[in-house]
Structure 1
Amino acid sequence: QNHLLQILTLAAMEKPATIHPDDIRDEKVKVLKSVKTLTLNDVVLGQYIGNPEGEGEAKIGYLDDPTVPAGSVTPTYAAAVLRINNERWDGVPFILKCGKALNERKAEVRIQFEDVPGDIFDGKAKRNELVIRVQPGEALYVKLMVKTPGMAFDMEETELDLTYGHRYENVKLPDAYERLILDVFCGSQM
């Protein structure tokens, strides 16, 4: 279970008329209705296998699980390129990835900015990127290509980082389930 479509709709929706849950929901629905139909070329599916040289859980593949039917072709990994059919997002790919038994567990939105016209670095510089991390450890940061100090004309990647856990060390930030239960008690559907 993950919340990739929720994150997609929040990132791509237009500004709602108000912060009332119905207005937010309506904008999210508009995004979902605008997603172009996927083709097989837009999707990659996979299934994890064990690493014979790994230790513990790393040795076990999906088909090694005794509760999984032999020969199962159930995907445990999916990646899809979604395109939203509206003026704002025309030509912008949204890449969603999720899976089980991956090296790391995270949920984030990465927005890569367009290449600068007249690139004097012949395409060697990475694109600037805005990253909104939902988990683990809520964070908002911008990855920027900057000139290195000194006389040389070299570039390096750096970050402007707002990691909530560092910025608000002495503040107890509720986890997702704590927030969900509080919303239920308060009757919030946002």
Structure 2
Amino acid sequence: QNHLLQILTLAAMEKPATIHPDDIRDEIVKVLKSVKTLTLNDVVLGQYVGNPEGEGEAKIGYLDDPTVPAGSVTPTYAAAVLRINNERWDGVPFILKCGKALNERKAEVRIQFEDVPGDIFDGKAKRNELVIRVQPGEALYVKLMVKTPGMAFDMEETELDLTYGHRYENVKLPDAYERLILDVFCGSQM
């Protein structure tokens, strides 16, 4: 199950008036109403195939599944570039990707910061990036390009990492269903 639109709206919404669910919902709706209509150029669809040299499930493609009709063109992968038509996010692409049988399963928001004018590092610097990982292993980290110590003018990428499982080792973090059940008991609609 994938919640990419929910993650997108939470990352892109304006600050709600309060933390009341109605105010949060109103801001989420504003974001969704501001998403520009997608064109075919904004979307990539695909279907996974088996790897003949793979082992186990890696050998099997979508069409090899006996429950899938022969010749099915059902996508198992989608990527889309969304643009939000408001002042804050004008010109910022939001890239959403999801699929089955990928090399890794993850849900995260990656915010890449624009390069500043006047590149003094001859194109060697990567973009700084804020990553909010929802699963697996909730984390918040910043990828930064920094000058290496010493007299040389070299750059390297480093991270400021807050992985919740490392920072809060002795705290049991609830899984998605535990959080959902707790929210139901507490009357939360978010």
TM-score after normalising by structure 1: 0.99
For the aligned residue pairs, the C-alpha RMSD in angstroms reads: 0.6
Cα offsets for 1:76-113 (capped at 9, x unmatched)? 00000000000000000000000000000000000000
Cα offsets for 1:101-148 (capped at 9, x unmatched)? 000000000000010111101222100000000000000000000011
Partner of 1:66: 66
Query: Per the alignment, in what secondary structure is the counterpart of residue 101 of structure 1?
Result: coil
Query: Per the alignment, in what secondary structure is the counterpart of residue 48 of structure 2?
Result: coil
Cα offsets for 1:123-175 (capped at 9, x unmatched)? 22100000000000000000000011222111000000000000000001101
Query: Per the alignment, in what secondary structure is the counterpart of residue 33 of structure 1?
Result: helix
Query: Per the alignment, in what secondary structure is the counterpart of residue 146 of structure 2?
Result: strand
Gaps of 5+ in 1: none
Gaps of 5+ in 2: none
Task: Count how many residue pairs are aligned between Structure 1 and Structure 2.
Answer: 190
Structure 1 runs (4+) deviating above 3 angstroms are none
Partner of 2:150: 150
Deviation at 1:185, TM superposition (A): 1.7
CA distance in 1, matches of 2:22, 2:103: 37
Cα offsets for 1:10-64 (capped at 9, x unmatched)? 0000000000001000000000000000000000000000000000000000000
